[in-house]
């Protein structure tokens, strides 16, 4: 039968262990089950450990939350409140989030764990690639501890929370609310960008598989993001084992989006998603599309063979930004449907590769014919579209794909998508969910900052929050007093149209 064994430490502290005792004849055999940690209140069964923080335990009821104000010897076990906190970053993030159209979707997601959710969300956005185990330390020194006082940020509590956040029912409820905030309650129609990225992971999860993506071999999980091509906002995510190739994920992704009343009318995808099955599915569902074709595709070989002979004629020249591109259009049959191939030569890419390719062919003593064949392929690319459009329209349309690269960049560099530090699929799903939510906020914030800043101003969310962290506040019993703002901090407030009060009343909700 299990019981608690108490041990007096020479310093006067009392520690406890959980032991299983079994009587065999006149002998009692004891089995150590684990440490309960420091005894805070023996009578009430209150303990403190590094893994669980302060908690309650009894043999009959097991583990539970410790009551507020748990004490030992009349002294509260809560950490003494810090009187000076980092202020500006959490204050302005809180005010900005409240103005976003999807804020209610965040508020309604986990109402009984709201403080923990927003504390971790702020931690992901405002710190630089810190593991979850440091969240409580950050929170205790930041204004977030005033905004979200009931946050449970001990390591064990965070793991439990991420598992709850990763629950399929919770995530479906979130996307119902989030997408309704973006497209309306009745759903909507969207043009989308779809791409995937690898999440390198050494954890022994079934999702972690050997991936061969564009010739790079790694142990990873594939993460798929869907972006609205009009505004660059992330609208959905999925994940799959690392050995699943992109081409097999497109139809499933579109099918899942349809369950949230999102009808897709335009898809811009990379070469990895091109296949006969995917193309036929897009045509059948009246989804217009643009995709790049890889050189090993039969359509690519057939079109380039017939169209490259005179492509460098000036009548095919197209200006795209600072790049000169020669581009030709050809109507073709695409698995029984009418499509349009746009074959081009990017002169910047061609010129960069020309010298290196020529020298390599000379060093390898290749015959002139083979050397000419290599050079003829430099800078060549091909786009395929379901629509007939002018050649000067296809490149700007396709390269809206850069928005999804920017979103992945935000997720990995600013929302702490990588490195993965979770050990099971439940917490992994919660981590992805938290990162998606952080990425949506950061993408909206970046768009607002870029649209409002002056031409030569280089302000971005990362730099803005770094400056704002230097604005402190003093904590009093009933009030918070933000400290004076220097110019670079004041500039961020003005840029986002947010006022900083002289005094914040702690007796009312902040």
Taken in order 27, 28, 31, 32, the sign of the CA dihedral is negative
> How high is the pLDDT of residue 77?
41
pLDDT above 80 (res 50): no
- Alpha carbon distances (Å) from 371 to 65, 112, 193, 308: 74, 68, 38, 16
Mean pLDDT throughout 467-478?
Answer: 92
Nearest-5° Cα angle at 148, 144 to 149: 105
DSSP-H helix ranges across 65-210: 88-99, 103-107, 114-126, 135-140, 144-147, 155-165, 168-183
Contacts from 14-20 at CB under 8 Å and sequence distance 24+? 14/38, 14/39, 14/42, 15/39, 16/47, 18/59
Tens-place pLDDT, residues 151-173? 999 988 998 999 999 999 999 99
**String of DSSP letters for 394-418:** HHHHHGGGHHHHHHHHHHHHTS---
Please give the Cα distance from 107 to 437 (Å, whole number): 12
pLDDT above 80 (res 474): yes
Residue 71's pLDDT band, with cuts at 50, 70 and 90, is very low
> How high is the pLDDT of residue 72?
41
Beta-bridge partners for 6:
16
Half-sphere exposure of 208 (CA within 13 A, CB side): 15
Pick the CATH number of 170-410 from 3.90.350.10, 3.10.20.30, 3.90.850.10, 2.130.10.10: 3.90.350.10
pLDDT above 80 (res 470): yes
> How high is the pLDDT of residue 216?
65
> How high is the pLDDT of residue 441?
94
Residue 235's pLDDT band, with cuts at 50, 70 and 90, is very high
Mean pLDDT throughout 472-492?
Answer: 92
pTM for the structure as a whole = 0.76
Q: Delimit the domains of the chain by residue range.
A: 2-76, 170-410
Task: Give burial (CB, 10 Å; 0-12/13-18/19+) of 432.
Answer: buried
Please give the Cα distance from 342 to 364 (Å, whole number): 33
> How high is the pLDDT of residue 78?
43
Tens-place pLDDT, residues 178-199? 999 999 888 777 889 998 887 7
Beta-bridge partners for 56:
46, 64
Mean pLDDT throughout 280-308?
Answer: 92
Residue 19's pLDDT band, with cuts at 50, 70 and 90, is confident
* First-last CA distance in the chain: 49
Residue 328's pLDDT band, with cuts at 50, 70 and 90, is very high
Give the residue, 231 or 50, on which the prediction is more confident: 231
Tens-place pLDDT, residues 122-140? 999 998 867 888 899 999 9
């Amino acid at each position: 039968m299990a019981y608690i064994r108490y041990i007096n430490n020479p310093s006067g502290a009392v520690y406890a262990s959980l032991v299983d005792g079994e009587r065999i004849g006149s002998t009692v055999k004891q089995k150590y089950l684990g440490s309960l940690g420091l005894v805070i209140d023996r009578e009430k069964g209150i303990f403190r450990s590094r893994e669980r923080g302060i908690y309650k335990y009894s043999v009959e009821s097991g583990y539970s939350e410790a009551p507020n104000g748990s004490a030992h010897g009349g002294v509260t076990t809560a950490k003494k409140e810090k009187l000076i906190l980092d202020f500006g970053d959490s204050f302005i993030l809180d005010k900005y989030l409240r103005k976003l159209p999807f804020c209610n979707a965040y508020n309604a997601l986990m109402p009984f764990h709201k403080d923990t959710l927003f504390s971790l969300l702020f931690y992901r956005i405002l710190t630089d690639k810190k593991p979850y185990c440091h969240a409580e330390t950050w929170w205790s020194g930041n204004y977030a501890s005033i905004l979200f006082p009931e946050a449970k940020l001990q390591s064990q509590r965070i793991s439990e929370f991420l598992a709850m956040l990763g629950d399929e029912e919770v995530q479906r409820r979130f996307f119902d609310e989030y997408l309704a905030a973006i497209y309306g309650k009745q759903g909507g129609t969207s043009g989308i960008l779809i791409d995937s990225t690898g999440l390198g992971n050494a954890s022994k999860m079934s999702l972690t598989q050997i991936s061969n993506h564009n010739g790079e071999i790694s142990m990873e999980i594939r993460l798929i993001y869907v972006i609205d091509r009009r505004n660059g906002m992330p609208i959905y995510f999925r994940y799959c084992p690392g050995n699943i190739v992109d081409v097999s994920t497109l139809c499933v992704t579109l099918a899942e989006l349809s369950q949230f009343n999102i009808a897709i009318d335009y898809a811009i995808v990379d070469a990895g998603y091109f296949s006969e099955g995917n193309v036929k599915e897009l045509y059948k569902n009246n989804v217009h599309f643009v995709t790049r074709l890889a050189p090993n595709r039969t359509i690519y070989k057939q079109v380039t063979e017939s169209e490259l002979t005179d492509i460098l004629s000036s009548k095919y020249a197209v200006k795209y930004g600072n790049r000169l591109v020669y581009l030709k259009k050809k109507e073709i049959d695409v698995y029984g449907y009418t499509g349009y191939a746009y074959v081009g030569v990017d002169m910047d890419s061609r010129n960069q590769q020309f010298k290196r390719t020529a020298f390599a062919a000379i060093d390898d003593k290749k015959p002139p014919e083979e050397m000419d064949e290599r050079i003829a392929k430099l800078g060549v690319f091909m786009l395929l579209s379901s629509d007939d459009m002018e050649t000067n329209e296809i490149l700007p349309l396709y390269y809206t794909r850069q928005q999804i690269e920017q979103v992945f960049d935000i997720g990995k560099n600013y929302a702490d998508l990588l490195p993965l530090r979770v050990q099971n699929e439940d917490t992994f799903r919660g981590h992805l969910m938290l990162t998606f939510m952080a990425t949506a906020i950061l993408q909206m914030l970046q768009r607002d900052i870029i649209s409002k800043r002056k031409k030569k101003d280089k302000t971005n969310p990362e730099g803005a929050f770094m400056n704002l962290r230097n604005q402190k506040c003093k904590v009093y019993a009933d009030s918070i007093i933000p400290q004076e703002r220097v110019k670079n901090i004041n500039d961020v407030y003005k840029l986002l149209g947010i006022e900083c009060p002289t005094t914040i009343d702690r007796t009312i909700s902040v």
